[in-house]
Every structure is written in C-alpha cells, then in structure tokens.
C-alpha cells in the first residue's frame, strides 16, 4: 500500500464535495476497491468512506416498491424479513453472493457501481426493472449498465439507493464458479403485469436482456416456451472456466430453471 488520505463524512453532500477534487475514490465495503489498491491497479489519493452516512443504510417497503440503501450489506438483504417476504428472489440472490465474509462487508451500491460482468446484483436490477437513485438523478437499470465494469455514473456521482418494483413472480438461477461463487452464468427472470424480463449475468462482457426469451414468455410463461431459444455464443465470454458455447448453453438451462422456480 501507499499513503492516501481517509475521510469518513456523515452526509452525502460532504462525501460528494470530498470526491469533487483530486483522485479520491468512494469506499463502500472495500471488497473490490482494497484488493485493487493492494495490487496497485488503483492509486487514489483519498478514500471517502460511506459507512458513516446513515441515509445510505436500510431497507424499506413503500407501497409496491422496495427501497434499499446503497450501503446495505449483502448479508442484511439476505436475512431481512421484509425482503424475504416481499421479494424472496432478491434475498436468495444476496445470500448466494461470495462467502460469509464478502456478504458481511460487500454492499449493493459497491456491487452495481463496480459492475463486474459476473456479479449477481446487476442481473437483479436489470431483471426487475429497478431504478438507481444517485445524489444527482434517477437512472433506469436499462440505462445504467453500459459495459464491462462500466456504468452510466459520472465521476464522483454517488448511488444513494436502489428502488425495486415488486414483481408478481421472480426467480434467479445461478451456475456459480465453485471457487469464487461469482456467476459463470446467472439468469434473473421476472413478471410484473405485461413487463417480462430475462436478465443474464456472467455470460457476456456486461449484464444483458434476452428479448426473444421475454417475448416467448409473454406468450406463455413456462420453461417449455424457452426450449428452442438460444443466445449467440459469438457475443459471450470464453475463459479458463468455460467456453462461450458452454455459457450459451447454460443461459438456456438457467433461464428455464429460473422460470420453473418463480
């Protein structure tokens, strides 16, 4: 490590002003940022720790929308009674992230800001049509995840919470990498009125929807409707863990399992 300043503001406004100048970085649970700094892949001159900002914490159901603060830890989403009752697919997704240490420290905001191509929360946000609220604006999940480790966030923009509209049916099916528990392929499926969503993580450079599957499920919401639909392996990741063709096959399998589980 090397020298850097450490700030722990108690409001979003103070955090925003601390990140406005220099090479400061927001710190959530440090699960990605600290290893990146240790490897010297990032060298911020200051860390702005969001852990002291109360309004970024917590889970609340308002009408048919679940509000989850950006600093809410995965373990808290997994164990929260309101989430388990109102949106069990999200509680179970959070409970399947990494290991107990990662779930105790990792946060919703940190996960989606980082937008790792194999992370689980991006699939939930896109698959539920969530809205990402920042200190400046509201961003639809459809516009938020723009590429590998890329999002629509501007420099220093702070995610404050995520709004999840409650679906009528939803489930997440993940084929995980046994070492890291990151998704080799994960598929989140939801149905809310006529809005049917199929969001895939782990398979490509960035989370994506599968319109052909959504249309087929719109005609009949059954795993059978997906039997003849495949995704193009040409657009998918290939690495030591799985070839693009294997991932393409898994997308179909996980999508059918998710529909069955809704």
Sort strands 24-27 and 5-7 into parallel, antiparallel or unpaired. Answer: unpaired
Site string for ligand FAD, 197-236 (x = CB under 6 A): ----------------------------------------
The residue at minimum Cβ distance from ligand FAD is 110
For ligand FAD, the closer of residues 56 and 259 by Cβ is: 56
Q: How far apart are CA 202 and CA 205, in angstroms?
A: 8
Q: Does 30 bind ligand FAD (CB under 6 A)?
A: yes
Closest Cα to residue 6, out of 49, 51, 42? 49
Distance CA 174, CA 202 (A): 9
Q: Quick check: 141 binds ligand FAD (CB under 6 A)?
A: no
Tokens 């779930």 -> residue: 103
Backbone angles phi, psi at 153, to 5 degrees: -65, 140
The residue range among 101-109, 192-200, 223-231, 247-255 that interacts with ligand FAD, by the rule CB under 6 A, is 101-109
Contact status: 109 vs ligand FAD (CB under 6 A): yes
56: helix, strand or coil: helix
Residue 252 touching ligand FAD (CB under 6 A): no
Phi, psi of 173 (to 5 degrees): -120, 125
* Residue closest to 221 by CA, chosen among 175, 173, 185, 171: 171
Q: How many other CB atoms are found less than 10 A from the CB of residue 253?
A: 15
Q: Which of 83, 119, 124, 189 binds ligand FAD (CB under 6 A)?
A: 119
Q: Provide CB contacts within 8 A for 219, sequence distance 6+.
A: 225
26, 77, 242, 248: residue in contact with ligand FAD (rule CB under 6 A): 26
Q: Which stretch binds ligand FAD (CB under 6 A): 57-65, 177-185, 217-225, 232-240?
A: 177-185
Q: Which lies closer to ligand FAD via its Cβ, residue 72 or residue 225?
A: 72
Pick between residue 97 and residue 242 the one whose CB is nearest to ligand FAD. 97
The residue ranges that bind ligand FAD (CB under 6 A) are 25-33, 50, 70, 74, 97-98, 102, 105-107, 109-111, 113-114, 119-121, 153, 158-159, 180-182
């Amino acid at each position: 490590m090397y020298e850097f300043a450490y700030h722990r503001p108690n409001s979003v406004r103070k955090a925003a002003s601390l990140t406005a100048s220099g090479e400061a970085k927001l710190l959530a649970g440090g699960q990605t940022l600290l290893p990146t700094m240790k490897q010297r892949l990032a060298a911020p001159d200051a860390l702005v720790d969001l852990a002291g900002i109360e309004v970024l914490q917590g889970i609340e159901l308002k009408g048919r929308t679940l509000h989850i603060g950006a600093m809410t830890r995965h373990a808290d989403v997994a164990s929260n009674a309101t989430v388990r009752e109102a949106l069990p697919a999200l509680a179970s997704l959070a409970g399947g992230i990494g290991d107990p240490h990662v779930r105790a420290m990792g946060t919703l905001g940190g996960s989606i800001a980082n937008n790792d191509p194999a992370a689980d929360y991006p699939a939930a946000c896109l698959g539920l049509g969530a809205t990402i609220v920042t200190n400046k604006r509201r961003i639809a999940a459809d516009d938020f995840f723009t590429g590998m480790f890329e999002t629509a966030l501007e420099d220093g923009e702070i995610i404050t919470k995520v709004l999840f509209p409650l679906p009528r049916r939803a489930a997440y099916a993940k084929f995980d990498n046994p070492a890291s528990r990151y998704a080799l392929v994960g598929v989140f499926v939801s149905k809310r009125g006529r809005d049917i969503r199929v969001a895939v993580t782990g398979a490509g450079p960035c989370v994506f929807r599968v319109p052909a599957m959504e249309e087929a499920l719109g005609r009949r919401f059954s795993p059978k409707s997906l039997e003849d639909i495949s995704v193009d392996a040409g657009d998918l990741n290939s690495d030591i863990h799985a070839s693009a063709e294997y991932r393409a096959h898994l997308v179909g399998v996980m999508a059918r399992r998710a529909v069955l589980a809704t």
